[in-house]
Amino acid sequence: MSPFLKFLAGFRDFCPKLKFHKIWPAFLLTLFLFSCGKKEAPTAGYSEAFKVIFDGTTHFFDRNQPDSAINYLDQSFKKIQEPTVNDQFRFYGFHYVYWQKAKLNYRKALLYADSMLMMAHKSLTREQYAANFAEGNYAKGDSYFTLKQYNDAYQCYFQGYEVAKNYLQQASLADYTYRMGMIMFDQEHYKLAAEYFKESYRQGLSLKEDFVQFYRRQELLDNIAISYRHNGDLDSAVKYFDRGLAYIDANKTKFGNRPTLLEIAKGVIKGNKAEVLILRHQNAQARELLKSSIDVNLRKGGDEVDAEYTEIKLADLYLISNKKDSLINLLQSLRRQLDTIPNEEVEAGWNRLMGNYYYDKKDLEKAIGYTRKYNVLKDSVIKRLSALKETDVNQQLANLEKQDEITNLSNNNKLQRLYLNVAIVCAILLVIIMLLIWRTWRRSKFDMAVVIMLNKQVNEQKTNLEKALDELKYSSQEKDRILRAVAHDLRNPLGGIASLSGVMVEESEHDRDMQMQLALIKDTATDSLELINEILEATQNSPEGFKKQWVDVNAMLNNSVELLRFKAAEKHQQILLTGLDTSLDININREKIWRVLSNLISNAIKFSPVDSMILVRAIQKKDHIVVSVKDEGIGIPDNMKEKVFNMFTDAKRPGTIGEKSFGLGLSISKQIIEKHNGNIWFESEVDKGTTFYISLPATGKKDARKSEDQSEAGMQLTA
């Protein structure tokens, strides 16, 4: 397997499906996003004391210090004498993000999500309730989702969406479509995921463009691009990656107080864009983007997990570029990072690359060891994702929506009205169906008459077609007769020209130009004579001309090979013959089958390079024998494979040293084999060689005689 194919195989399985901004500041951004819905509720907000605590807690999160953030929050919150509903809601929200994102303790995070919902029910206004209830449900849904309790997760998402939709909470609606986009992406519905991310982006445009919304928008542009990349739309992917980078650069001045976050965001997009550039074979540009991304994320406060993913991409690029030293140095550095920050997907990719590296080094023992580790990790990742892929989120949400609709209908008698309307519609449809049946019955007689008339026309057309086929058969026979007559009349004079020019070429008194012209005449006449012989052969393969006889398979093969060894020797080629283990006679036309074998071996000689090997082998399989002719030649491209057996095919090509090809030999061979009730086929790879097979009935001479004796004995018993 080529290095590029190795890269694609591993890259497809273990490069991260969707790269979100997996950094400590992203936890802070999540908190900001949770709180942004409050801006739509003018009467609800934080107390002045909690605003200070909020800023201090986010300050610690900004600096990759989640433990310090929570300690500061707990100590400071105790000092607030009368916290508002939003103060308490956000207190639980901070704790939820800490356990969900920082500590990955999803069950404990679920408890804090319940606390958030409890505080949402204490909201003072409808707007405050809508914002808090939607956010709490999304948080709870995220915990259920990470715990693989997908049905519960979808129900929470739907409940949050319904409340946010009813009260026009654009921030909550944007969060909902964002989550649906992530789910669709994980289920590999990439086109649908891109549409969800676009919708989330459009919904967020109506919100105030603070840092939170800015960061979410550039992330959505990145996610849209990745969705297009996995859907195969590389041009659209590059377009959205560039939009994301341009959007970040356009806001550098506005959010210059957070340069690290801006650089990290650009690094993530650059790493993702490099994947597309690799697929477009823009390796040099991709390599620079990957190095830039790694350099940013390996800095203090950067996204080291993203750096690991990006280093895997760069290592794959080194592999396909055959830069072995750069590859092993990068993998050794990545090994030290993985020992500190484990990552199952990256670990799998690392083992795959190490296996490829030692495979190229011919150290198969180490290569196999790393490959086995890769397969184990790959199976683990696939198993983890299989449960999500098996769930039908659209069906789940559709079911929830139907349940909600049924509840509403039962509360205001809409369900009864619906049943009444359905009954009316069914009655109308029943009347329409009865009218259609009556109308169809009336038209049936007319249709029957039409069918009879059409049937008569079909019979007449059938008769005309039979006549046309007879005429076509006669025309084909006339064509063959004329072709044979013309070819036969041309063969003798062309044979004379070839012989005379051959004699003249051997004379030494001619000057060089004359010698070359005579040689050209001789080659042209010889090629024309060979073409005429093939035309005569093609027009004479009628069943009546086949006189069969018992022929020893090994003797026939040996004779064919020996006659062509001298031709192979001209290109310093060797022909190796492996015959049947025991002698076997088969009933065939010796001359015709000899021509097939000669044609296959001649083609192998013609299309194989100098100093190559040609293998001829015969084996017996039950009631038939199979003869194969294998070469190490140029092979047959896929676009020519269906044409090689066609007469006068345009798939003919010159030999490896310019030998002529007329495109008739294989067509003639196919006709001969099929008239012997056999088969002919081939297997070929470009630049690796071709193997032609012929299969012939293999009833031995003894078996045939035994069958004849039994038939005669049966006739005598009958008599």
Question: In this structure, are 565 and 443 located in the same domain?
Answer: no
> What are the residues whose beta carbons fall under 8 Å from the beta carbon of 154, sequence distance 6 or more?
141, 393, 396, 397, 400
Question: In this structure, are 32 and 96 located in the same domain?
Answer: yes
Q: Where are the alpha helices (DSSP H) in 298-343?
A: 304-320, 324-340
Residue type, 528: S
Please tell me which residue, 262 or 399, carries the higher pLDDT value. Answer: 262
Place of tokens 């006189």: 547
Question: In this structure, are 563 and 663 located in the same domain?
Answer: yes
Question: In this structure, are 533 and 552 located in the same domain?
Answer: no
pLDDT value of residue 39? 41
Token pair in block for residue 342: 């484990």
pLDDT value of residue 76? 93
Q: Is residue 433 included in any domain, yes or no?
A: yes
Token pair in block for residue 339: 């020992």
Q: Is residue 672 included in any domain, yes or no?
A: yes
Question: In this structure, are 104 and 28 located in the same domain?
Answer: yes
Most confident of 214-218, 517-521, 679-683: 679-683
Query: Domain containing 479: what range?
Result: 425-538
Q: Lowest-confidence range among 329-343, 348-362, 401-415?
A: 401-415
Cα dihedral across residues 169, 170, 175, 180: positive or negative: positive
Question: In this structure, are 453 and 512 located in the same domain?
Answer: yes
The model's confidence at residue 680, banded by pLDDT at 50, 70 and 90, is: very high
For residue 685, pLDDT beyond 80: yes
Please tell me which residue, 446 or 290, carries the higher pLDDT value. Answer: 290
Q: For 587, which DSSP code? A: E
Of the chain, the end-to-end C-alpha distance in Å amounts to 70
Cα 450 to chain centroid distance, Å, stands at 51
The total of structural domains in the chain comes to 3
Place of tokens 């597309």: 276
Q: What is the CATH number of the domain that holds 125?
A: 1.25.40
Contact 306, 23 (CB under 8 A): yes
Q: Is residue 593 included in any domain, yes or no?
A: yes
Q: Please give the average per-residue pLDDT across 568-590, as a whole number.
A: 90
Q: Lowest-confidence range among 455-459, 505-509, 607-611?
A: 505-509
Rounded CA separation 261/657 (Å): 64
Please tell me which residue, 662 or 622, carries the higher pLDDT value. Answer: 622
Q: Is residue 362 included in any domain, yes or no?
A: no
Half-sphere exposure of 604 (CA within 13 A, CB side): 33
Would residue 572 be called left, alpha or beta, if left means φ above 0 and alpha means ψ between -120 and 50 degrees?
A: left
Question: In this structure, are 527 and 595 located in the same domain?
Answer: no
Half-sphere exposure of 296 (CA within 13 A, CB side): 21
Question: In this structure, are 587 and 674 located in the same domain?
Answer: yes
pLDDT value of residue 178? 86
Q: Lowest-confidence range among 79-93, 477-491, 507-521, 690-704?
A: 477-491
For residue 14, pLDDT beyond 60: no
Question: In this structure, are 557 and 680 located in the same domain?
Answer: yes
Question: In this structure, are 675 and 570 located in the same domain?
Answer: yes
User: Where does a domain end: 129, 149, 169?
Assistant: 149
